[in-house]
Amino acid sequence: MSSLDHSIPVPAISRAFEVVESSSNNKTATHSINVNEDDGDGVFLTWQDLWVTVPDGQKKGNRSILQGLTGYARPGELLAIMGPSGCGKSTLLDALAGRLGSNTRQAGEILINGRKRALAYGTSAYVTQDDALITTLTVSEAVYYSAQLQLPDTMTKLQKKERAEMTIKEMGLQDAMNTRIGGWGAKGLSGGQKRRVSICIEMLTRPKLLFLDEPTSGLDSAASYYVMSRIAKLDQRDHGVGSRTMIASIHQPSSEVFQLFHNLCLLSSGQTVYFGPASAANEFFALNGFPCPALQNPSDHFLKTINKDFQKDIEEGLAGVIPTEEAIDILTKSYKSSDNYLQLRSQVAEICKAQDSGALEKKSTHADFLTQCIVLTSRSFVNMYRDLGYYWFRLGVYVLLGIGLATVFSNLGTDDNSIQARGSLLMFVASYLTFMTIGGFPSFVEDMKVFERERLNGHYGATAFVFGNTFSALPYLALISLIPGAIVYYLPGLHKGYQHFIYFVLLLFACMLLVESLMMIVASLVPNYLTGIITGAGIQGLMILGGGFFRLPNDLPHPFWKYPLYYIAFHKYAYQGMFKNEFEGLKFDNNLDGEQVLRDKWQLQMGYSKWVDLAILFGMVVFYRLVFLGIIKTVKKMKPVVKAFMSVPMKQTTQIMENPCATPPQEDKIFYQ
């Protein structure tokens, strides 16, 4: 229940120690203060003069999304951020959680327990506005896999399962346990149920600081109430974990849900209209000439008063009513000059002084790296099995293409024409069949979205993701190399002997792995279906052209095509390996032997064996995967650097801060004059 008492709890003060407080001018000061033992584990989050700006699309200027916000969130309390759509609720949550986009600039001070620091894993969680979930899993699978990834190895599998089931029940999803989440193309859970699955996943570790962006969108008022009340009351059940600090943005709470809020932050166009106890908001509006009509939900009244998106319609319909711009102006000015605001600033200062870093150092651990790799491999394997677009559809098309190739190149024979035919067949297999690997790109982009969400919440790292994705794909790639490979190899009658067939399949497998790795690199840089597929296809088109088939190696123009493309395109090694495997040891009519054909007709480098080509291809697979890993690791690390580079001094600020993780580490402070 909301409380009118707006001051920091003093009676429970029981422990005294010294803290070093960071001040905005980078000097440090020591204070001897007392801290509440009960709240020792809790997270006090404060923000002062928080500005967020983005470059203005048209002019070279900036647009302020958040304008000098100040506020706090305390353990055991639920802070609701409300305001019309586009007022900056998600931006405020992102800023507080350290997740702003790289094109934004942030100024002001965000402190955790009075200091700038990164939160340990499991201390904070963020349920984003968009649900990024693995659509092929059922609710219980999604939550259980997540439990295995997030919860420490000290817990048994049974305990993790129990935690997962309990959390599912807490969110009222017990009836949908075995329903697949579903996404585009396959209907599964409703929008509101998906929201609850996202919340479940983030609640598993019982985080001390919880950000929720629109947790109730898509839910009816009764479901909204149950979800919010469960969230609000969770810490009462989680004995021993300390009080939870909760910040939720919310669109339209019912009056029952509204009663659950302790504090309310009301925004309009990035400005604070009201910050304070939720129960006192009504009084604030009434005092400023906007009393809530009887029988009207207060939150509806607040939003209606400050929503200027439809101002014209409202003005037309309601003659004599104060225009919304004016109403907002009255309220923001009144708020800025109110005792409430002064009290808020002093409370923020008080919290900053009173808190210490010690209590948060206790890190909660998650599953170890090996467990994460195993769980991610198994989860990804199940997803690939159920997602028809990942491999099954491609297998079908490959089989059809294989039959097509087998009929076009039937009865190869050993005459002069068969030399060209064999070459063309092998070239088609090594380039076009592998080229089609880009068909799995959309599914992979979906996986990347889930990975991004889970990584931002600290569930696991990039290395475990790359391991999981690589190992889970291997059996499928082996299958789609083997079955179509056998059709293409045996029906037209390529070089007899099972060793030749094994080499052929291995090479096809390596090429598919390579194209997948290439597409992963593309996905990490261009995470969009259409542009990603076009980019991947363009790169491969160039490589095929420079691979030494359409223009023989000696005829390739030297700049770019021969040096360096011919040597870096994997097609060179694929063609050479395939050709050596096929022609070496073959005798053609007119006493022509295969080696001669390779040397004279295909202009191959004969100094090394076909196995070297295969080894180079596998080496390239490892290299490409490492590049992919490097990119996803660097992009994360580079973000704050890019942001710092883009940051410029802002009039209103004393400090600009970059926060790469949940909250900014102390050394991340960047000071501006």
Ligand X SMILES: Nc1ncnc2c1ncn2[C@@H]1O[C@H](COP(=O)(O)OP(=O)(O)OP(=O)(O)O)[C@@H](O)[C@H]1O
91 sits near ligand X (criterion: CB under 6 A)? yes
d(CA 389, CA 214): 31
- Beta-carbon contacts of 308 under 8 Å, excluding residues fewer than 6 positions away, are 84, 268, 269, 324, 325, 328
d(CA 530, CA 516): 16
Q: Which residue, 430, 441, 437, is CA-closest to 485?
A: 430
104 sits near ligand X (criterion: CB under 6 A)? yes
Residue of minimal Cβ distance to Mg ion? 90
Stretch near ligand X under the rule CB under 6 A, chosen from 84-92, 202-210, 497-505, 658-666: 84-92
Q: Which is nearer to ligand X, 21 or 658 (CB)?
A: 658
305 sits near ligand X (criterion: CB under 6 A)? no
- Residue 450 sits at φ, ψ, to 5 deg, of -65, -45
As beta bridge partners, residue 501 has: none
The single residue listed with the structure tokens 């080499």 is 503
Q: Which is nearer to ligand X, 266 or 464 (CB)?
A: 266
> Letter for the amino acid at 319?
A
Closest distance between Mg ion and the C-beta of residue 213, in Å?
Answer: 6
Q: Which is nearer to ligand X, 217 or 371 (CB)?
A: 217
> What does 88 bind: ligand X, Mg ion, none (CB cut-off 5 to 8 Å by kind)?
ligand X
Q: Helix, strand, or coil here: 655?
A: strand
Stretch near ligand X under the rule CB under 6 A, chosen from 89-97, 145-153, 385-393, 478-486: 89-97
Closest distance between ligand X and the C-beta of residue 213, in Å?
Answer: 7
> What does 104 bind: ligand X, Mg ion, none (CB cut-off 5 to 8 Å by kind)?
ligand X
> What does 277 bind: ligand X, Mg ion, none (CB cut-off 5 to 8 Å by kind)?
none
91 sits near Mg ion (criterion: CB under 5 A)? no
Give the C-alpha distances (Å, rounded to integers) separating 651 from 111, 408, 473, 477, 648.
Answer: 21, 72, 52, 57, 10
Closest distance between Mg ion and the C-beta of residue 88, in Å?
Answer: 8
Omega before residue 564 within 30° of 0, cis: yes
Closest distance between Mg ion and the C-beta of residue 85, in Å?
Answer: 7
Q: Tell me which residues in 341-370 interact with Mg ion (CB under 5 A).
A: none
Binds ligand X by CB under 6 A, chosen from 53, 64, 90, 372: 90
CA torsion angle 421 426 431 432 (round to 10)? 60
As beta bridge partners, residue 64 has: 53
88 sits near ligand X (criterion: CB under 6 A)? yes
Q: Which is nearer to ligand X, 46 or 104 (CB)?
A: 104
64 sits near ligand X (criterion: CB under 6 A)? no
Q: Please report, in angstroms and rounded to a whole number, the separation of the first and last CA atoms in the chain.
A: 44
As beta bridge partners, residue 33 has: 17
> What does 54 bind: Mg ion, ligand X, none (CB cut-off 5 to 8 Å by kind)?
ligand X
Structure tokens at 139: 């609710």
d(CA 503, CA 433): 16
As beta bridge partners, residue 592 has: 588
Give the C-alpha distances (Å, rounded to integers) separating 336 from 271, 310, 327, 333, 344.
Answer: 10, 25, 14, 5, 10
101 sits near ligand X (criterion: CB under 6 A)? yes
253 sits near ligand X (criterion: CB under 6 A)? no
d(CA 210, CA 12): 24
Q: How many residues bind ligand X (CB under 6 A)?
A: 14
Stretch near Mg ion under the rule CB under 5 A, chosen from 121-129, 227-235, 277-285, 601-609: 121-129
- Binding flags for ligand X, 123-162, as an x/- string (CB under 6 A): ------x---------------------------------
Determine contact, residues 576/556, Cβ cutoff 8 Å: no
Closest distance between ligand X and the C-beta of residue 525, in Å?
Answer: 19
Q: What is the DSSP annotation of 299-322?
A: HHHHHHHH--TTHHHHHHHSTTSP
CA neighbours closer than 13 Å in the CB half-sphere of residue 340? 25
Structure tokens at 606: 């004969």
54 sits near ligand X (criterion: CB under 6 A)? yes
Binds Mg ion by CB under 5 A, chosen from 70, 90, 271, 431: 90
85 sits near ligand X (criterion: CB under 6 A)? yes
CA torsion angle 577 582 587 588 (round to 10)? -100
Q: Which is nearer to ligand X, 90 or 437 (CB)?
A: 90
- Residue 454 sits at φ, ψ, to 5 deg, of -70, -35
Closest distance between ligand X and the C-beta of residue 54, in Å?
Answer: 4
Closest distance between ligand X and the C-beta of residue 530, in Å?
Answer: 21
Structure tokens at 183: 């996404």
Binds ligand X by CB under 6 A, chosen from 87, 171, 280, 292: 87
| Tally of helices (H runs) and strands (E runs) in the chain | 23, 17
Within a 10 A sphere around the Cβ of 338, how many other Cβ atoms?
16
Closest distance between Mg ion and the C-beta of residue 261, in Å?
Answer: 17
268 sits near ligand X (criterion: CB under 6 A)? no
> What does 65 bind: Mg ion, ligand X, none (CB cut-off 5 to 8 Å by kind)?
ligand X
Q: Tell me which residues in 492-521 interact with Mg ion (CB under 5 A).
A: none
65 sits near ligand X (criterion: CB under 6 A)? yes
Structure tokens at 221: 């008022």
CA-only gyration radius of the chain, Å: 31
> What does 103 bind: Mg ion, ligand X, none (CB cut-off 5 to 8 Å by kind)?
ligand X
Q: How many residues bind Mg ion (CB under 5 A)?
A: 2
> What does 91 bind: Mg ion, ligand X, none (CB cut-off 5 to 8 Å by kind)?
ligand X
> What does 115 bind: Mg ion, ligand X, none (CB cut-off 5 to 8 Å by kind)?
none
Q: Which residue, 548, 411, 428, is CA-closest to 485?
A: 428
Q: Which is nearer to ligand X, 129 or 603 (CB)?
A: 129
For the stretch 188-217, what's the b/e string if a residue is b when 16 or more beta carbons lie within 10 angstroms of its beta carbon? bbeebbbbbbbbbbbbbbbbbbbbbbbbbe
> What does 87 bind: ligand X, Mg ion, none (CB cut-off 5 to 8 Å by kind)?
ligand X
269 sits near ligand X (criterion: CB under 6 A)? no
Q: Which is nearer to Mg ion, 82 or 462 (CB)?
A: 82
Note the residues at the interface with Mg ion (CB under 5 A).
90, 129
Note the residues at the interface with ligand X (CB under 6 A).
54, 65, 83, 85-91, 101, 103-104, 129
